[in-house]
Amino acid sequence: MIHPFKIACLQTRPMPDFDAALSEALDLAGRAVSSGATFLFLPEYCGGLKADGPRLVPPVANEKDHPFLLEFMQFAQLHKVWILIGSLAIDAGNGKFINRGFLIDDHGQKAGSYDKIHLFDIQLSDDQVFRESATVEPGNQLVVYDTPFGRIGHTICYDLRFPQLYRALAQAGADIICVPAAFTKPTGEVHWHVLNRARAIENGVYIVAPCAVGSVPDGGETYGHSLVVDPWGKIEADGGEDAGVVLATIDLEKVEAARARIPSLQHDREFECRL
């Protein structure tokens, strides 16, 4: 197993189409590799994102010929780095799309994928109503990737509010759990740091949370502040409010140390709920 190792969160802006998204993401990826990162993490809908009123309408493509995915597979092969694409909009073939993330290995091959389980159906105010389920087909499978860097769990954005998912990933052996997101600014300002730190502390895992930053074309704003949180809850890196590369070093010995100090993963018990 490789450790410690240097990672980079690419804090990209929401872009209206594949070409604009690729232009920025590839530039940031090149800067990350030049800085010594061997594992790159991108946000949710990093292949493009815009809005139509309250609806998010990312550009959609088939998986087999998705331009963003294919370009980053080539990048990974050329630079011999691992890449976690937070998510792309993949055509589901039924009038909806799938919010699907991908792991790409250092040979440029797809090493796995994850379909977002929990969909963001919520009303924040009279004029802020989000119904992700109207356009997105949900997933239903927990995903942990085996890599030379350790075991990595994949979640996406709104999943962050469901601690049972993170517990299941940790119990399945995840050392690192990624949370790629396009978290909205109003809730991000209050909840983003707290929830990511809580998921790390509860499970003794690294949380790697690349988040898009800035205005969504035609509506809304994403929060940024891509985070790397260590297993004790310490924020190792925070991307702030500008697009860029967020670097951090992962040392899995910290996972072992945190779980030795508070071995709560060994203390889960079944219980009855009497109401």
Catalytic residue among 9, 50, 116, 254: 116
Using DSSP, state whether 160 is helix, strand or coil.
Answer: helix
> What is the distance between the alpha carbons of residues 116 and 55, in angstroms, rounded to a whole number?
17
> What is the distance between the alpha carbons of residues 60 and 66, in angstroms, rounded to a whole number?
8
**For residue 62, what are its two tokens?**
């088939």
From residue 142, how far is each of 155, 157, 270 by CA, in Å? 8, 15, 20
| Domain map (residue ranges) of the chain | 5-262
Write out pLDDT tens, residues 77-135. Answer: 999 999 999 999 999 999 999 999 999 999 999 999 999 999 988 876 777 677 889 89
**Which portions of the chain are predicted below pLDDT 70?**
124, 128
pLDDT for 121 equals: 87
234 labelled catalytic: no
157 labelled catalytic: yes
Q: Among 184, 233, 232, 239, which Cα is nearest to 209's?
A: 239
**For residue 242, what are its two tokens?**
């500008």
Catalytic residue among 9, 44, 50, 236: 44
**For residue 37, what are its two tokens?**
């990162």
Using DSSP, state whether 145 is helix, strand or coil.
Answer: strand
CATH-assigned architecture of domain 5-262: 4-Layer Sandwich (3.60)
> What is the distance between the alpha carbons of residues 128 and 148, in angstroms, rounded to a whole number?
42
> Structure pTM?
0.96
pLDDT for 124 equals: 67
Query: Degrees (nearest 5) of the Cα angle 60, 64, 67?
Result: 55
Half-sphere exposure at residue 224, Cβ-oriented, CA atoms within 13 angstroms: 16
pLDDT for 219 equals: 82
pLDDT for 2 equals: 78
241 labelled catalytic: no
Q: Which amino acid is at 32?
A: A
Radius of gyration in angstroms for the set of CA atoms belonging to the chain, rounded to a whole number = 18
Q: Among 131, 152, 132, 157, which Cα is nearest to 142's?
A: 152
Q: How many CB atoms lie within 10 A of CB 93?
A: 10
Catalytic residue among 9, 46, 157, 211: 157
